[in-house]
Amino acid sequence: MKLLIIHTAFIGDIILSTPFIESLYANDKSAEIYYVTTKLGAQVLANNPHIKEVIVYDKRGEHKGLKGFLRMSERLKKYHFDRAYIFHRYLRSVALAKFAKIPERIGYDVSGGSWMLTQKVPYIKGVHEVERLLRFEDFKERKTPIKLYGCFTLEQGVDQLFMKNHVDDRKPLIALAPGSKWFTKQWPMEYVSALLELLSKKEVQVLLIGGKEESLLDISKNHENVIDLMGHTSLLEVYEIFRRCDVVVSNDSSPIHFASATKAKVIAIFGATVKELGFYPWSENSIVLEDLNVECRPCGLHGGESCPKGHFECMRNITPERVLLEIEKALSEVQDEKNSSHKV
């Protein structure tokens, strides 16, 4: 059976679909799994042994507009897929499966163009996104972890990156990802700077993680134990770095999902968004820091360019001292776990 997953959303959404891939493969190892996603999504899914082919849908470039859409649908038609799982709740994704003449088209009941689906899955609010996706094939009882795949070349690349930047991995490694596409999901930069100042007095190694845009953030980072890697890593290198870290601190953005694929302790800072939206860390080694007393949360699914109320209390009430305390707790747990493993 030839199965197609269509998901062209954000990087974090693609990562959260990997438990479904694992479950799909475990359920039928003879099935051929294909995946349509964006250029960035394709980077995240690289090396996944359960995917026969990742098909890039460049909807803002090569496949932009109606002509690009038709070219992609004609390409998909040639594969003769038996079934499509359409995770993206937009008309274009549903129409793509319809125009590709895929006989079984499974998607959410709230999707645009849901009338083109042959099977509708209820979009359940208040549960984690991973659990929602697992319901596409009744895998909901499985606690399937997020799974990303590295390779020897990737490990070598991070080894060289660490050597070039003199990363001291003999010390506890803390990764801090301060950025987000949305302003109201970003912990204030002065708080990030204050946290780095507090951590500069600790025997730890801090790695700043993010893309080129994050490298322009106004952060005071001139500390001996702080290394700025923002803009110097690929997406899967971020995963490999987190795999080596003891603690990862991030806003409600894709780094929490990369980190959830590792054994690192994940500290997620939530401001404009809430856990109930379903995008908190899918990891038992995680904690979400939020102010439950701010009544205007959430102010949107993705956050926004500014605080609608003007006070931004949801983030400002989460102090650097509170985050430091959670980091220290996490490092203590890591040390206890290392001590226990040595005794065994």
pLDDT per position as a tens digit, 114-167? 999 999 999 999 999 999 999 999 886 667 999 999 999 999 999 999 999 999
pLDDT band at 343 (very low <50, low <70, confident <90, very high): low
pLDDT band at 313 (very low <50, low <70, confident <90, very high): very high
pLDDT at 338: 84
Q: Are 105 and 116 in contact (CB under 8 A)?
A: yes
Mean pLDDT of 252-268: 97
Residue 63: closest CA among 73, 54, 48: 73
pLDDT at 140: 65
Residue 37: closest CA among 79, 94, 93: 93
3-class SS of residue 11: helix
Distances (CA, A) of 194 to 206, 243, 328: 13, 26, 16
What residue spans define the domains of the chain?
2-137, 157-343
157-343 belongs to CATH 3.40.50.2000: yes
User: DSSP string of 310-332?
Assistant: S--HHHHTS-HHHHHHHHHHHHH
Q: What percent of the chain clears pLDDT 90, i.e. is strictly above it?
A: 87
Q: Is the pLDDT of residue 341 over 90?
A: no
Q: Do domains 2-137 and 157-343 have the same CATH topology?
A: yes
pLDDT per position as a tens digit, 33-86? 999 999 999 999 999 999 999 999 998 888 888 999 999 999 999 999 999 999
Mean pLDDT of 166-170: 93
Mapping DSSP onto H, E and C, the string for 14-69 reads: HHHCHHHHHHHHHHCCCCEEEEEECHHHHHHHCCCCCEEEEEECCCCCCCCHHHHH
Fold type of domain 2-137: Rossmann fold (3.40.50)
Q: Are 81 and 2 in contact (CB under 8 A)?
A: yes
pLDDT band at 170 (very low <50, low <70, confident <90, very high): very high
From CA 138, how far away is CA 282, in angstroms rounded?
Answer: 19
| DSSP run (H or E) holding 84 | strand 83-86
pLDDT band at 318 (very low <50, low <70, confident <90, very high): very high
pLDDT per position as a tens digit, 190-243? 999 999 999 999 999 999 999 998 888 889 889 999 999 999 999 999 999 999
Who's near 32: CB < 8 A, 6+ residues apart?
1, 2, 3, 52
Cα-based angle 319, 325, 328 (whole degrees, multiple of 5): 145
